[in-house]
Chain A
C-alpha cells in the first residue's frame, strides 16, 4: 500500500505519517470505536429499514424525493430502525456513540448531483445531524458537504458557513489540498473539508444506477471528495472507485454509510430522470461499504428485472469495482453475499 506523496515539508511528512497511522488503526480495527469490517473472517451486516408510509398515505407512483413529501418524524424513525438493525441496540444514542464521540468533527458527505429529484434527502440528513447531536456532537462541529455549494442548494440544503449551527457548504468554498494522495491508479487532491473539518466521515449516498460505473452507491460517492473525478470514469470506474476509497485520508475517517433509498434510480443514472426513479422508501445502513454496494446493486437489479430491463452485466456495465474493492489489494469489505447479513427492519 502506498501512502500519499510527500512533497517536502517536515510538517507535511508528519501529517502524512499521522494519516497513515490512522488508516492503519482503522484497518486493523483496534480503535475503541466500531470500524469498517474487512470482510475477512467476519460477516458484514447491512441493515435495511423500510416504511411504505414514509410519504404519507397519499404517496404513490414515480416521483421525486422532494423533502416536502417525506414525513420528518417517520424518516427519523426509519433511520433509527436501520441503525438499530446494524448495531442490534435499541438505544439509538448508544448506537451513535459507537461511531462518534463528543469533541469530534463530523463530516456528512451527501450526494447532490441529482438535484431535488435524486439527491440525499434533506430530512434524512437533518435526522442524522439530530442523532449526532444527541450523541454529544456540537452542531457547529457537523458539516454537511459535497463538491459544490450550488449543487447543495439545488438539492434543497440551506448553506451555512460560520456560527454555531450545523455547517453546510461545498468544497468550492475551501478548495483542495495542494498535496496529492495516491493509491494504485489514483492520484488526487482531496477536499479540505474532508482533511481539515472531519475527524469522522458519515457517507450518505443515494441508491442509483450509473451509466458508466453500473451503480453509484457508497463507494462511488467518494468521487465527490477528490479534485479530478472525471479522470476516473473510464473502464466502468474500475479500479478507480476502489482505489479512491483506499486513500488514507478517506479510509481512516469513514465510519458509517447511510444510503438514502427513499427514492432511487434503476436506469439512466446518475442524473435525475423521473421515468427511471422509484421509491423504495428505505434507508440502508452499513459499516462495510462493499457489502452495502453489493446489496444495493442487487436491489437495483431486482427493480430492473421487474421493469423488464436487462441486467447491468448484460448491458456490459456490471459494477466491477465492487469486486475490486473486496480483493486482496483493497480489502475494503466483502462482496460475498454469504458473508453479508442483511437485516430487514420493515414496517408493514
Chain B
C-alpha cells in the first residue's frame, strides 16, 4: 500500500507535518497513482519541516495487523456479501452491478476480479481493503467547481470493471486484491483519517469505485456523520440501481467519458458507451454535481467530428454548465506506442466545445495553460486562477461573478 500527499497539498497544509512518503511493502508493486517524484518529495518534505506532533498516516495504518506479506493477509475481514446480484440455478449468480452483468459460476470471479461466487453467494473481496490512500487537492480529481482549494482524503481498493489500455493506475486497477498490499481500513477509520487530515471530502478514486460500491456507501455514511463529504471519480459504467444507491450518497461526481464512439469503448476500454451516457443523464436528473473528463488520445478519440458530437450531446442532455475537462494523454500500460497529446489538439477540442455553447471547458494535465482557469461565461473575468492543482485566486462569492453577478454553477463554499 502506498500513502502520500502530493507536493501541492503539502504546500497548502504545511502544518500537517512531514511528507508521508510511501508505504511500499517489500517486493510489491512500486507504482502508485500520482506518486511524488523525488524532487517533489524533497520539496514537500523541506517545506513541511519537522513533524509537528501529528501522527503520520502510514504509522496509523501500520498499527493495523501485519501487512508484510500479501499471502499472509487475513482475507476474511475484507469479505462481505455483495449487493446487486441475483442467484441462478446450479450455484451460479448474475452480477447486477455494472452493465457487463457477468454470470459467474461457483468459485469464479467476475470481470472486475474483486467479486467472487462462493457456493452460490456472491461476495465482494475488497470491503475496507484499501490499497492506496493519499491526501490530494480536490483539483487533482479533477473537480474544479467543487470546494476549490480543499483537500480530499483519496482512497482505492484493487479492481476495475473495464480494462482501458491507457490506464495510468493499472497496477492496482487491473490486479486482484490478493496480488497487492492493502490495509484494513473500515468506514469509520476512513472518516477519522479524513477528519484528522482536515480533508473536507473523502474521494473514491484511482482504481474504479464501482467495484467497491458496498465499501464506498458505508464510508460515505461514516463521513457524513463526521461532517465530511464524499466525491467519486468513476468511469460511470454502472447499472441504474447501484448508481442511485451508491453515487446517490456522493456530494460530487467526476465521470471519465473515455470517448464518444462505441468502437473505442469496445476495443480500447472493453466496455460500452451508452451505459456511461445513461449514467451522466441520471446523475443530472438526481441533481448530483458532476464534471466530465475526456482524455484525448492521439488517433483514437481525437477527431473533430467526435468533439462536435460530444459537445452537442452534452449540451442537449446535460446542459451548458457541466464542466468538461479535455486532458492530455501520456503513454502507459498497453498504449505506449502513441505520443503525448499535442496541446493544439486539446485547444481545438476546447474551441469546438465552447463554440457549441459549453460554458466551462478546461484543458488538463498541462500545468500553466490558461484553460486551467475558470472564466465568467458572461464577462470573461478570471474567477478561479489555477496552476496545476494550486489555486492562485478564487473570487467567486455566493456563487456569482463579483463583476457581472453572473451565477457560476458549482459548490464553491463548504
Looking at the assembled complex, report how far the CB atom of A313 sits from the nearest CB atom of chain B, in whole angstroms.
18
Given contacts A228-B113, A230-B112, A231-B113, contact A211 B92 (CB under 8 A): yes
Kindly list chain A residues whose C-beta atoms are within 8 Å of the C-beta of B91. Answer: 271, 273
Q: Which A positions have Cβ atoms within 8 angstroms of B?
A: 5, 113-114, 149, 172-173, 175-176, 178, 180, 182, 187, 210-212, 227-228, 230-231, 233-234, 268-271, 273
Q: Is B111 an interface residue (CB 8 A)?
A: yes
Instruction: Please encode chain B, from 20 to 51, with 1 for each CB lying within 8 Å of some chain A CB and 0 for all others.
Output: 00000001010000000000000000000000
Q: Is the CB of B107 within 8 A of A231?
A: no
Given contacts A172-B70, A172-B71, contact A211 B176 (CB under 8 A): no
Q: Is the CB of B111 within 8 A of A234?
A: yes
Q: Is the CB of B71 within 8 A of A231?
A: no
Looking at the assembled complex, report how far the CB atom of B211 sits from the nearest CB atom of chain A, in whole angstroms.
11
Given contacts A5-B336, A211-B103, A270-B105, contact A228 B175 (CB under 8 A): yes
Chain B interface mostly: loop
When the two chains form the complex, which single residue of A5, A212, A234 contacts B334, counting CB atoms closer than 8 Å? A5
Q: Is the CB of B109 within 8 A of A230?
A: yes
- 8 A-B pairs besides A175-B179, A212-B108, A230-B112 with CB distance below 8 A are A113-B107, A176-B179, A227-B179, A228-B113, A228-B175, A231-B111, A269-B105, A273-B106
Q: Is the CB of B111 within 8 A of A230?
A: yes
Q: Is the CB of B176 within 8 A of A230?
A: yes
When the two chains form the complex, which single residue of B29, B90, B179, B270 contacts A273, counting CB atoms closer than 8 Å? B90
Q: Is the CB of B111 within 8 A of A270?
A: no
Q: Is the CB of A233 within 8 A of B107?
A: no
Looking at the assembled complex, report how far the CB atom of B338 sits from the nearest CB atom of chain A, in whole angstroms.
13
Q: Is the CB of B334 within 8 A of A182?
A: yes
Q: Is the CB of B175 within 8 A of A227?
A: yes
- B5-32 with Cβ < 8 A to chain A: 27, 29
**21 pairs of residues in contact across A and B, judged by CB atoms under 8 Å:** A5-B334, A172-B70, A172-B179, A173-B71, A176-B179, A182-B334, A187-B334, A211-B105, A230-B176, A231-B111, A231-B174, A231-B270, A233-B108, A233-B111, A234-B270, A270-B105, A270-B108, A271-B105, A271-B106, A273-B91, A273-B106
Residue of A187, A269, A273 with most chain B CB atoms under a 10 A cut-off: A187
Kindly list chain A residues whose C-beta atoms are within 8 Å of the C-beta of B178. Answer: 172
Given contacts A231-B174, A271-B105, contact A180 B27 (CB under 8 A): no
Tally of A-B residue pairs with Cβ under 8 A?
Answer: 67
Bound together, the chains give a CA A12 to CA B303 distance in angstroms of: 36
Chain B residue at minimum C-beta to C-beta distance from A176: B179
Bound together, the chains give a CA A269 to CA B111 distance in angstroms of: 18
Bound together, the chains give a CA A324 to CA B179 distance in angstroms of: 30
Kindly list chain A residues whose C-beta atoms are within 8 Å of the C-beta of B103. Answer: 211-212
Kindly list chain B residues whose C-beta atoms are within 8 Å of the C-beta of A149. Answer: 71
Looking at the assembled complex, report how far the CB atom of B329 sits from the nearest CB atom of chain A, in whole angstroms.
17
Given contacts A228-B175, A233-B111, A271-B91, contact A175 B27 (CB under 8 A): yes
Kindly list chain A residues whose C-beta atoms are within 8 Å of the C-beta of B107. Answer: 113-114, 270-271
Kindly list chain B residues whose C-beta atoms are within 8 Å of the C-beta of A113. Answer: 107
Bound together, the chains give a CA A234 to CA B104 distance in angstroms of: 11
Q: Is B2 an interface residue (CB 8 A)?
A: no
Chain A residue at minimum C-beta to C-beta distance from B107: A271
Kindly list chain B residues whose C-beta atoms are within 8 Å of the C-beta of A187. Answer: 165, 333-334
Bound together, the chains give a CA A113 to CA B118 distance in angstroms of: 12
Chain B residue at minimum C-beta to C-beta distance from A180: B334
Kindly list chain A residues whose C-beta atoms are within 8 Å of the C-beta of B27. Answer: 175
Bound together, the chains give a CA A161 to CA B99 distance in angstroms of: 43
